[in-house]
Structure 1
Amino acid sequence: MGTALLYGLGTAIPLVIGAAIGLRTTLPKPLLASLMAFGAGTMIAAVSNELFEPAFLQAGAFIAGVALFLGAAVYVVANRLLERRAGGTSAVGWALMLGTVLDGVPENTALGVSLSSGGGVVLLVAIAAGNVPEAIGGSALLHRQRNVATGRAFALWVLTGVVLVVVTVAGHVLSDHLGPTPISAVQAFAGGATIAVLADSLMPEAYREGGWWVGIATAAGFLVAFLLG
């Protein structure tokens, strides 16, 4: 459990740091886009190496494939409902924060589960790299567009980080009571949700803000995560 706690903190601390940066300063859009693209690249490697591949090898194509599509579908539907309730650009900050929870729950659950098989390093790096730009953008919009006080906005992001730590530990504890096939299903489900996050949110936003350069940053993130794996 101690290892799961440390890994959970490894995803939450970058989130809190990103929130602090977003509340205190405004980063250039190309830099923020590059961070988002780098995080997307690490996620691509993590989904392949630490989520879907082990699930495919253990549970087979059918179970892993169904769980993958189910994870993508759940995220897409939930994200669509969130967008409808957001009420336009004035609620983008809230949407980004809630979106971090929405995609962080399956990712951190999979991180906790992966620790039981000796994995998790690549996934940890990928989640941490993706959390920083999400928190920077979300906290800045929450503070400036919704006029949420700095202290309250920071507290909300700290709470989000706590949720991710709890989910990681819970995923690790849960893995002790699950067989190999259910664990594989959880990993593939998280992989599908992560792919949907990349396609629907992270990569389009990075390209919109950063232009052609984000392709290089994405490749750099993939290479770093692949080498770590």
Structure 2
Amino acid sequence: MNAAGAALYGAGTAAPLVIGAAIGLRWSLPRKLLAAMMAFGAGTMIAAVSSELFAPAFAVAGIAVAGAALFAGAGVYVGANHVIENKLGPSAIGWALMLGTVLDGVPENTALGVSLTSGGGLVLLVAVAVGNVPEAVGGAALMRDQHGFSRARALALWVVTAVMLVVVTVVGFALSDVIPETGIAAVQAFAGGATLAVLADSLMPEAYRDGGWWVGMATAAGFLVAFALG
């Protein structure tokens, strides 16, 4: 594995963001379909948090370090999301989903880049990619519908986010030899905390509001798919 290979892995997580954003901006998907996609993505993210992020962090660093990093990740997202809601109002769900993509994507892609040196990373790549699609579809569509973003402006924001995730993956790969195992564990747990906060504050409430009780089945399906991949 070299830097080009790490960039390819990073692109594997970033491309779904651009594709999802383009879909959300180009077509007005039925709200129930969008809710199902969000719920499915939430299920994959739950599986990724438990098996690919927090479990290895706990095994390496223990409950004190992993738990502190988990709460730190959740706290950073909750605080930043609160600022966005105060500035833009409760309808700022599109910005909140994009913020969640950044806050959980940066540590996730850092962990992905680090894991490539030991031949791992494929399962995390798939889980993150699957979760990124509905997150970008929903976030981009809500930016367009609730905030009046032009398609070009909204797509440009998601493209910048995607490029940043590719760069983060390459940097994580380059720094893998100097990051101690405890540091890697903290990054993984931080990503898990941010992801959980995204699910609880933004993704799942929005999915339930638009899709109703049956989105629980879509969430279970997403969890099963990601768990089976793991």
Shift of 1:101: 2.2
- Report the equivalent of 1:7: 9
1:8 and 1:164 in contact (8 A); partners too: yes
Shift of 1:88: 4.6
CA distance in 1, matches of 2:125, 2:203: 17
CA distance in 2, matches of 1:166, 1:8: 8
> After the TM superposition, which parts of structure 1 deviate over 4 Å for at least 4 consecutive aligned residues?
none
The counterpart of 2:32, out of the listed 20, 30, 35, is: 30
- Report the equivalent of 1:173: 174
1:121 and 1:228 in contact (8 A); partners too: no
- Report the equivalent of 2:77: 75
| Matched length | 228
What amino acid maps onto 1:123 in structure 2?
L
- Report the equivalent of 1:198: 199
**CA pair 180-118 structure 1, distance change in 2 beyond 3 A:** same
Q: Could you list the runs of 5+ residues in structure 2 that have no partner in the other structure?
A: none
Aligned positions of 1:44-83 closer than 5 A? 44-83=46-85
Q: TM-score, normalised by structure 1?
A: 0.90
**CA pair 113-10 structure 1, distance change in 2 beyond 3 A:** same
CA distance in 1, matches of 2:44, 2:74: 18
Q: Could you list the runs of 5+ residues in structure 1 that have no partner in the other structure?
A: none
What amino acid maps onto 1:181 in structure 2?
T
Shift of 1:36: 0.9
Residue 143 (str. 1) matches residue 141 (str. 2): no
Cα deviation, 1:99-145, whole Å, max 9, x if unaligned, reads 43233223322322333343323322222222222222222233344
Moved more, 170-179 or 189-198: 170-179
RMSD of Structure 2 on Structure 1 (CA): 1.9
- Report the equivalent of 1:161: 162
Aligned positions of 1:84-103 closer than 5 A? 84-89=86-91, 91-103=92-104
CA distance in 1, matches of 2:98, 2:191: 19
2:14 and 2:163 in contact (8 A); partners too: yes
CA distance in 2, matches of 1:192, 1:67: 7
2:13 and 2:125 in contact (8 A); partners too: yes
**CA pair 185-97 structure 1, distance change in 2 beyond 3 A:** closer
Shift of 1:95: 4.2
2:70 and 2:191 in contact (8 A); partners too: yes
Q: Secondary structure at the match of 1:60?
A: helix
Identity of aligned residues (%): 72
**CA pair 157-202 structure 1, distance change in 2 beyond 3 A:** same
1:43 and 1:123 in contact (8 A); partners too: no
Shift of 1:92: 4.5
What amino acid maps onto 1:158 in structure 2?
V
CA distance in 1, matches of 2:65, 2:117: 20
CA distance in 2, matches of 1:182, 1:68: 13
CA distance in 2, matches of 1:88, 1:194: 20
- Report the equivalent of 2:132: 131
Q: Secondary structure at the match of 1:212?
A: coil
